[in-house]
A = this chain, B = another copy of it.
Amino acid sequence: MAEQQTYNVAIVGATGAVGQKIKQILEDKKFPVNQLKLLSSARSAGKEETFNGETIIVEEAAPESFEGVDIALFSAGGSISKQLAPEAVKRGAVVVDNTSAFRMNEDVPLVVPEVNPEDIAKHQGIIANPNCSTIQMVAALKPIKDAFGIGKIIVSTYQAVSGAGNAAVEELYEQSKEYLDGNEVKAEILPVKGDKKHFPIAFNALPQIDVFEDNGFTFEEMKMINETKKIMHDEALNVAATCVRLPFATSHAESVYIEVDQEGLNVKDIWKTLKSADGIVLQDNPQEQEYPTPQSAEGKEEVFVGRVRKDLDNPKGFHLWVVSDNLLKGAAWNTVQIAQTLVKSDGFKK
């Protein structure tokens, strides 16, 4: 038996919410790591982290950091990716990027391994990880689209605060405490750190995730719309999204309406398709009150689907409730899955 090939891996944004999860998953899944580099901003450099029982000192990310790196997993914000991902590629690394920086670039595959693993082979150095809310939706819908066709998707999201980072989660908990104590609540981060106004998220709902585009949709909504078409390889697919931030830390939920192409289907046909799909868990038994919730999905890798209903008017319409841990399948786990698929494929030459 041949010795297992191992890889030098770098995590960029190693101290962030997603970076921490990536490190944990690489360890849990026994990813064939030779050497792990943990890279961050200057502010977090010098921190000590452990990986497989060994201590690793976090280093400040710089172009030279990627010398000798085979796989670089980026999760430190779009501007860092734009600046350093090309430097990593130049030095021979394959980048899996978890930001929106390159997702819509024509020569960058946008991949959910259960949905379009074949796209990985087309990479030219960078593979993009889709937006968290997109990943779980396409994972749930792809098996249905393959089986019956889908022409239209309308989604309303129920998104967790951790999608805006660890500081946003701290803001949620801090605001919650102040609210419960009857004190004034301060809002400094959400809905969008860099935007003009901030509103309390504790005991509230904010219909803004990311900044507004000129068409009145938010960038988050446009990500769901455009990324879904790209991942599904279907520019004609109708997709509409309304994205809402809600006061819980983990897992996005989505109320999804679809119109299938095939006539005469019922809920059991959708159930059957989802039951045999990779990475999907069907939790749908209304009479026993079985359905996924953000808390029930937390810490799990899969995408959970429940509340499947046939539309009462349109015989081709179906409603679904899709929930997944936004930091795992929505980010860290999908990133590592891409890296796993990459190292297993012939397309990856070390």
B204 touching A294, Cβ below 8 Å: yes
CB contact under 8 A between A240 and B319, given known A154-B257, A309-B217, A312-B225 = yes
Interface flags, A279-292, vs B, CB<8A=1, else 0: 00000001111010
Oligomer copy total:
2
Q: Which chain A residues in 87-108 approach chain B with CB under 8 Å? A: none
Q: Tell me whether A195 is interfacial, beta carbon within 8 Å.
A: yes
Q: Tell me whether A199 is interfacial, beta carbon within 8 Å.
A: yes
B306 touching A207, Cβ below 8 Å: yes
Q: Tell me whether A66 is interfacial, beta carbon within 8 Å.
A: no
The interface-forming segment of A13-21, A33-41, A242-250, A333-341 is: A242-250
Partner of A247, one of B203, B313, B319: B203
Q: Tell me whether A130 is interfacial, beta carbon within 8 Å.
A: no
Q: Tell me whether A143 is interfacial, beta carbon within 8 Å.
A: no
Max chain B C-beta neighbours (<10 A), residue from A152, A203, A306, A309: A203
Nearest neighbor of A241 in chain B, beta-carbon distance: B319
A307 and B176 alpha carbons, distance in the complex (Å): 26
CB-defined contacts of A217 to chain B, threshold 8 Å: 309, 312
B204 touching A313, Cβ below 8 Å: no
Q: Which chain A residues in 292-350 approach chain B with CB under 8 Å? A: 293-295, 306-314, 317, 319, 321
Q: How would you classify the secondary structure of chain A's contact residues: helix, strand, loop or mixed?
A: mixed
A289 touching B208, Cβ below 8 Å: yes
Max chain B C-beta neighbours (<10 A), residue from A196, A217, A293, A311: A293
Max chain B C-beta neighbours (<10 A), residue from A225, A253, A313: A313
Q: Which chain A residues in 225-246 approach chain B with CB under 8 Å? A: 225, 238-240, 242, 244, 246
Q: Tell me whether A42 is interfacial, beta carbon within 8 Å.
A: no
A306 and B47 alpha carbons, distance in the complex (Å): 45
A205 touching B293, Cβ below 8 Å: yes
CB-defined contacts of A215 to chain B, threshold 8 Å: 309, 312
A307 and B241 alpha carbons, distance in the complex (Å): 12
Partner of A249, one of B191, B203, B312: B203
CB-defined contacts of A199 to chain B, threshold 8 Å: 293, 295
Q: Tell me whether A206 is interfacial, beta carbon within 8 Å.
A: yes
Report A's interface with B, CB cutoff 8 A.
152, 154, 156, 158, 173, 176-177, 180, 191, 195-197, 199-200, 203-208, 212, 215-218, 225, 238-240, 242, 244, 246-249, 253, 255, 257, 267, 286-289, 291, 293-295, 306-314, 317, 319, 321
A-B contact pairs, 16 of them (CB 8 A): A152-B313, A156-B156, A196-B288, A199-B295, A203-B295, A204-B293, A205-B294, A206-B293, A207-B253, A207-B293, A207-B307, A218-B286, A240-B317, A242-B255, A242-B307, A242-B321
